[in-house]
Every structure is written in structure tokens, then in C-alpha cells.
Amino acid sequence: MPHAVSLLRAARLARSAKPFLARGGFKRERCAGCRLVPSHCMCAVRPSVATRAGVCLLMADIEPLKPTNTGWLIADVVADTFAFGWMRTDTDPALLALLSDPQWQPYVVFPGQYAAPERVVASVSSPDPTRGGTAKRPLFILFDGTWAEARKMFSRSPYLDLLPVLSLQPEQITQYKLRRSGRDDHFCTSEVAALCMNLAGEYAAEQTLEAYLAVFTHHYLSAKNQQPIAWDGAAHQRLRELSTLPLS
């Protein structure tokens, strides 16, 4: 069953007047399930973790088409992943319906210095056992694009203006190697999702996203450099270990 990012990619391709060619990428047939060349397909190791938390991806125009996009990895791992193409002048009614769904507590994930102080939070609500554990499920809204695109989406989406802004304070630096960035504190989308899952107490999802990104990076770079897959390497071993652990 195609997930939300896959469906958004198909819709974006259907609107394209010409084929999308990724800058610097390999121009060969790709697997529809993982976007890699068939010889380096990673569909067989695709993980899935049951989570209470969800993820809502607001994606820049061509982001779903990029083979290095990591929002795809989130949708592989977290079943309740929703994906919408961002437009300044139009908003998908399905997005507005999701944000108003009473089961969810949406959080806009963005650096706190760009938001009014009263909107900024550093943690997410947890179920209160004394009230039957009925707290709303956290829904993390992530901007999937370049930093410039993310800033534009944050500042020009009035339907998000009344939502709390979750400001992350990561202690580590990014491990993402598939796109260039001059900042170690700029994280790829799946790394941000892993940090959010940690705050929500979804530790199995957090660790799986981290391990799955490492596997994807290995497959992608191996394909690009025409090298074989190290199926017994550290990245695959870590993902296999996580698949045998009990869910958090």
C-alpha cells in the first residue's frame, strides 16, 4: 500500500510537464518502493513501528520528487504520517481537517526564535493517568524542504499561527550526508522526526528512524558510487537488532 509521501510524489509527477532529473543523482531506473536503483533496493528491510504520535509533512513543491528526500523514510516507519504539498495561495482542505481533528494535538516544529515567545514549548503533553490517560495524541508538523523554503512555509501559513511551536534543542550534530549544508545544526527531516519521537516517549520509533536513515544513506551512496551493499555492516546490523526489541 503506497504511503502518504509516495502518493504525493505520484500526484506531483502527474502534474509535471517533463521528467524530474535530480541534480547530481544517478539517472537510472528506480524502485517505486524506495527510489533506489533495483540493484540497491532496500524494500526488504523496511521497518514499521506502532506509535501513538503522528507526523504531518508540509512539503515544498519538488521535495517529494527528490531521491534524497527523507520524509519518505518517516512515512515508511510511522504509519500515521500525512503529507501535503505546500502552496502559499491555497490550502488542502484535508490538511485543515487533520489539524482540527480532536484526537490530535498539533505542534509546529521550528526554532523558537522565529515565533512569539508565548507560542514556544519545549515538551509535548503526555496522558494523565489520573484522567484515564485521555490526552490528545501529538501530531508533529514538519516543514520538508530547504531551510529557505521552511522559513517561508512557517511565516506564510496563517492556519498554523495559533498552534504551539515546538522548539527542539538537540545535543548532537546532523549525520545526514546526502545534501550539502554549511551548518551542523541543520537536520534532515527524518532526524527531526526522530527527535520529536524522543520527546513523545516513542523511543523505538526514534531509534528505528535513526537506524533506517543510516541504512538509506549507505544504499544511496553505494549505488551512486557503484559499490556493493554491505548487508552485514553496522547500519544493517543495528536495524536488525531494533526489529527484535519490544516496542516502547
Report yes or no: 77 and 205 within 8 Å, Cβ to Cβ: yes
- Phi and psi for 110 in degrees, rounded to 5? -165, 155
Strongest mean pLDDT among 16-25, 129-138, 230-239 = 230-239
pLDDT at 72: 96
Rounded to whole angstroms, how far apart are CA atoms 209 and 195? 10
Amino acid at 24: G
Q: Are strands 120-121 and 54-59 parallel, antiparallel or unpaired?
A: unpaired
Residue 8 within a domain: no
Residue 26 within a domain: no
Residue 166 within a domain: yes
Count of Cβ atoms closer than 10 Å to residue 220 Cβ: 22
Report yes or no: 195 and 183 within 8 Å, Cβ to Cβ: no
pTM: predicted TM-score of the whole model, two decimal places: 0.88
Rounded to whole angstroms, how far apart are CA atoms 51 and 53? 5
Q: Which of 199, 182, 180, 87 is nearest to 140 (CA)?
A: 199
> Grid coordinates representing 184?
551542523
What would the pLDDT profile of 169-204 be if each residue is shown by its tens digit?
A: 866 545 544 545 444 456 899 999 999 999 999 999
Q: Three-class SS of residue 37?
A: coil
Query: How long is the chain?
Result: 248
CA torsion through residues 74, 75, 78, 81, sign: positive
For the cut 90, the answer to whether the pLDDT of residue 28 exceeds it is no
What would the pLDDT profile of 30-57 be if each residue is shown by its tens digit?
A: 899 999 999 999 999 999 999 999 999 9
pLDDT at 183: 45
Rounded to whole angstroms, how far apart are CA atoms 124 and 203? 14
How many domains does one find in the chain?
A: 1
Quick one: DSSP state of residue 132? T
Count of Cβ atoms closer than 10 Å to residue 47 Cβ: 18
Q: Which domain holds residue 203?
A: 52-125+134-243
Residue 28 within a domain: no
pLDDT at 102: 97
Residue 19 within a domain: no
Greater confidence (22 vs 207) lies with 207
Residue 160 within a domain: yes
Residue 2 within a domain: no
Residues in contact with 49: Cβ distance below 8 Å, sequence separation at least 6, in sequence order: 77, 78, 202, 204, 205, 208, 247
Q: Three-class SS of residue 41?
A: coil
Least confident residue range of 15-24, 69-78, 206-215: 15-24
Cα angle, residue 75 at apex, residues 72 and 80 outer, rounded to 5°: 160
pLDDT at 112: 93
Residue 157 within a domain: yes
pLDDT at 29: 83
For the cut 90, the answer to whether the pLDDT of residue 78 exceeds it is yes
Q: Report the chain's mean pLDDT, rounded to a whole number.
A: 87
Rounded to whole angstroms, how far apart are CA atoms 228 and 213? 18
